[in-house]
Amino acid sequence: MPEIAFACGHGGDVARGAHLLRRVCPLCMLIDETQRSRSELLAKVAPAQRAALAAETRVGARYDWRCTRGHDRYEASVREVLTGPSCEKCRRNALAPGAVRDAGVPFMKPGLRTGTSQIEQRLRTLLGERIRLHHRVNAIRIARMFYGRQEVWPDIIVPQLRIAVEYDDPGRSRRAHRGLKEASDREKDEALREVGWEVIRIRAGGLESLGPTSVVCKGLTIEAVDEVVGLMRRIRGDTAVDAIAVTAEAVS
pLDDT digits (tens, 9 = 90+) for 138-164: 999 998 888 778 899 999 999 999 999
Query: What is the signed CA dihedral for 21, 23, 25, 27, rounded to 10 degrees?
Result: -170
Tell which residue, 207, 206, 227, has the closest CA to residue 215: 227
- Do the beta carbons of residue 26 and residue 82 sit within 8 Å? no
- Does residue 223 sit in the same domain as residue 135? yes
Amino acid at 232: M
Instruction: Examine the fold and report which residue of 93, 120, 151 is the final residue of a domain before the chain moves on.
Output: 93
Same domain, 242 and 202: yes
Choose the final residue of a domain: 66, 93, 120.
93
DSSP secondary structure string for all residues of 182-202: HHHHHHHHHHHHHTT-EEEEE
Q: Do 33 and 135 fall into the same domain?
A: no
What pLDDT, on the 0 to 100 scale, is given for residue 115?
Answer: 58
Helical spans, DSSP H, in 14-55: 26-33, 38-44, 50-54
pLDDT tens digits along 16-47:
888 989 899 999 988 887 778 899 999 999 99
Is there a single domain that holds both residue 108 and residue 196? yes
- CATH number for the domain spanning 194: value is 3.40.960
pLDDT at residue 249, as a whole number: 52
> Do the domain assignments include residue 98?
no
Contact in structure between 89 and 72 (CB atoms under 8 Å): yes
pLDDT at residue 248, rounded to an integer: 60
Q: Are residues 164 and 71 in the same domain?
A: no
Q: Tell me the residue range of the domain where 50 lies.
A: 4-93
Residue 172 is predicted with a pLDDT of 83
Residue 189: exposed, middle, or buried by beta-carbon count in 10 A (0-12, 13-18, 19+)? buried
What is the model's pLDDT at position 116?
Answer: 66
**How would you classify the pairing of strands 74-77 and 106-107?**
unpaired
Q: Which residues, given as ranges, of the chain have pLDDT below 50?
A: 252
Structural domains counted in the chain: 2
The predicted pLDDT at position 124 comes to: 95
Task: Specify burial of residue 136 (Cβ count, 10 A radius: 0-12, 13-18, 19+).
Answer: exposed
pLDDT the model gives residue 1: 59
pLDDT at 84: 72
